[in-house]
Amino acid sequence: MRTSKLAGTALAVGVFCLLVAGGIGGTGSAQAAVPSVRPAVTSFSILGNLNGVAAASASAAWAVGGAVGCGNQCTLLLQWNGTRWTQVKSPRPVSGMLNAVYAASEDDVWAVGCTVNGDQPGNVLVMHWNGRAWSWQKDVPDVPGCLLSVAGSGNNVWAVGGTAGFHGGDYLPLVLHRTGNRWYLVPTAVSEVNLNTVVATGANTAWAGGQGNAYPLDSVLLRWSGAMWQPVSFPLEGLEYYLSAIAVGPSGTMLAVGYRYHHGSVIVPYGISMRWNGKTWETVAVPYPKDRSLSAVAFIPGGTAWAVGGVGPNDINNTTLILRWTGTAWVRVWSPNVDRNGALAGVAATSASNAWAVGEYIASTNGDPYTLILHWNGKSWN
């Protein structure tokens, strides 16, 4: 089960630092009078982990996370230009992590996370890509905690997370809203909650999901109606449900995924899913439920969708998990697993023949985490 964003009742923070440049480059060969053709290099692997991915087109995508190097974690920004992934310089060396990214267009991209203070999160962190460079957003309210998700609609951008009791404070949800070219801290009608995911369904409507910090860790779903974030009822309310992600599809439909813990001698998760039909939420069966956790979901233009996560009872024994939504049910799709342990944390798609899934794998040679990027070409994940 993947825990790089959130573990149990608190936001998980790895011990990561300085960006370590690296990658997998393609090579071409030429014969007499025949020009070489350099194939697209869809992978990029360095010490670190990727938590989120967003794609604006087949030739423009971004992946974010944290890089390993000098004892602390530093923000990691990768860019896809249609040919290869490259590491993009952060606005300044930032000790912290990025958990999610949202692309409104190729030159309007938001990434969120938190700074790191020792081995604990510091304050919320928001970065913006304007088509030329990333910039640290200084107008964001300076509050303790970590942002885990970002989404938008039109000129509205939402970012959510939680304080998780850091700095001796209360366990509170964090909701930031960008409107009128400014960021605002928005109150909610709940407390002792971490929010893992947010989606915008219109100029005045949005949804956010997560789970409580105090046992029994019940899941929570909030809805923004233009004035206040309010909790709503849904089928997966209850003991130890964990909502990881929500995606918006055509005609106002939505899919939500996550997992539920079984407590015993070990913690064993199994996948959960819901579908919004425009009026109500209804549960959807997840294939192979035992030892499965779902971390992210994204619609493909046209109505189908991808969901990704990991298979395994803990962080030591994991394999990548990818499900495809047929319009009525989830089916499992083969996915490559790298080395001995891999898990996926983010997914994005621009068409039926172009999708990205990102996460991390643990190298069997040294036990270190490395970034993991998978690509869907319309036939298979590679």
DSSP codes, 6-65: EETTEE------S------------BTTB------B-----BEEEEEEEEEETTEEEEEE
Report pLDDT for 2.
41
Per-residue confidence (pLDDT) for residue 21, from 0 to 100? 30
CA 260 to chain centre: 18
What is the model's pLDDT at position 3?
A: 41
Domain for residue 222, yes or no? yes
Concatenate the DSSP letters of all residues of 206-255 into one string: EEEEEEESSTT--EEEEEE-SS-EEE---TT-STTEEEEEEEE-GGG-EE
In a domain, 25, yes or no: no
Domain count, the chain: 1
343 conformational bin, left if phi > 0, alpha if psi -120 to 50, beta if neither:
beta
Write out the residue range of the structural domain in which residue 209 sits. Answer: 62-376
pTM of the model: 0.87
pLDDT at 10: 35
> Is 2 part of a structural domain of the chain?
no
Residue 333: the pLDDT is 93
Is residue 220 in some structural domain? yes
Peptide bond into 144 cis (omega under 30): no
Number of Cβ within 10 Å of residue 176's Cβ equals 22
**Is residue 19 included in any domain, yes or no?**
no
Chain-centroid distance of CA 246 in Å reads 10
Q: How far is 68 from 75, CA to CA, in rounded Å?
A: 9
- What is the spatial distance between Cα 359 and Cα 50, in angstroms, rounded to a whole number? 5
pLDDT digits (tens, 9 = 90+) for 172-195: 899 999 998 899 999 998 888 889
**Positions in the chain whose pLDDT score sits under 70:** 1-40, 69-72, 93, 118-121, 164-170, 214-217, 238-239, 261-268, 289-290, 313-317, 338-340
Report how far residue 331's alpha carbon sits from residue 307's, in angstroms, rounded to the nearest whole number: 10
Does 122 fall in a domain?
A: yes
pLDDT score for 262: 59
Is 69 part of a structural domain of the chain? Answer: yes
Q: What confidence score (pLDDT) does residue 186 get?
A: 94
Contact between 162 and 169 (Cβ < 8 Å): no
* CATH number of residue 223's parent domain: 2.120.10.80
- Specify if 34 maps to a domain: no
